[in-house]
Structure 1
Amino acid sequence: MLRSASAQIFRQVVRFRTTDSSLILERSINRVQLLGRVGQDPVMRQVEGRNPVTIFSLATNEMWRSGEGEMSSTGDVSQKTTWHRVSVFKPGLRDVAYQYVRKGSRILVEGKLDYGEYVDKNQVRRQATTIIADNIVFLSDNMRDRT
């Protein structure tokens, strides 16, 4: 009895039913956290009929030791930098990001992944991966001094 009740509660937490009993919508998670340095000052763009968006790039670094004894202090240290495109649509956060995010600032960005397509100036269809930010934490000392 108890096992049956807990299983039923678990099912209700994980998914919810609509009025159509044949359609079951399951919840899912699309969350990203990036900690890195800003690669360029943000720009604000506005497409006709849409709200403005603040866009900037963020670099994250991955470091590892290679060679003999990867766990010891010998071996070469390698680093890979990955660049991420960050877009901020939330009105309050969009304006704060545009005003205070600066090239070289260390920030934490929380948001979700978004995949899309666009046509470049040479009429070539391209794919783009963007982080849609819904929270930014400023970690650089220079940001704390400005406020």
Structure 2
Amino acid sequence: MLRRPLQQVFRQFVRYESESTMPLVLERSLNRIQLLGRVGQDPVMRQVEGKNPVTIFSLATNEMWRSGDSEVFQGDDITQKTTWHRISVFRPGLRDVAYQYVKKGARIYVEGKIDYGEYMDKNNVRRQATTVIADNIIFLSDNMKEKE
């Protein structure tokens, strides 16, 4: 009774079996990230020769926690850490919308996947880079209004 549902579930995870002695099993996996924060700089569009253009901008997320042991709330008990994320948008429609409408200070929600890569800097030193490749962007507010 339980065996049939398990076989159906198992089939969802097995994509291909080769005819060699060792069957090749490709499993499904997940690489998803969700970020909610403020844009740190206006986007730039870059294009490397022979490759699709990409829109790039930075996004800040904040983490806050109480640092004191006191039961009474005090303003200096709150500690905040800001983390900066590099967002890259490759999808043609989304890339153009992000380039045109994402502005510094805007509050946005980004869904995507994390990509780890390497590049050579101008001094021929190998560097590592972590990038969020955006699949979806939701605009939550206009730019922060400047105080007059």
TM-score (normalizing by structure 2): 0.89
Q: How does 1:40-119 map to 2 (within 5 A)?
A: 40-69=41-70, 73-74=73-74, 76-119=77-120
Maintained 8 Å contact 2:115/2:131: yes
* Deviates most, 109-118 or 73-82: 73-82
Deviation sequence 1:38-77 (CA, Å, 0-9, x none):
00000000000001000000000000001215x7635710
Does the alignment pair 1:136 with 2:137?
A: yes
Per-residue CA distance 1:56-108 (angstroms, 9 max, x = gap): 00000000001215x76357100000000000000000000000000000000
Deviation at 1:124, TM superposition (A): 1.1
Question: Corresponding residue for 1:13?
Answer: 12
Residues 105 and 143, structure 2, Cα contact 8 Å, conserved in 1? no
Structure 2 stretches lacking a partner, 5+ long? none
CA distance in 2, matches of 1:29, 1:68: 39
Amino acid at match of 1:73: F
CA distance in 2 between counterparts of 1:137 and 1:48 reads 30
Note if contact 2:104-2:143 (Cα within 8 Å) is conserved in structure 1. no
The amino acid across from 1:139 in the alignment is: L
SS of 2:93's equivalent?
helix
Q: CA deviation at 1:122?
A: 1.5
CA 1:52–1:104: 2 relative to 1, 3 Å? same
User: How many pairs align?
Assistant: 141
The amino acid of 2:116's aligned partner reads Y
1:94 match: secondary structure? helix
The answer as to whether partners of 2:67 and 2:78 remain within 8 angstroms in 1 is yes
* 1:36 is aligned to 2:37: yes
1:26 is paired with a residue whose SS is coil
CA distance in 1, matches of 2:97, 2:17: 38
- 2 CA distance for matches of 1:102 and 1:37? 9
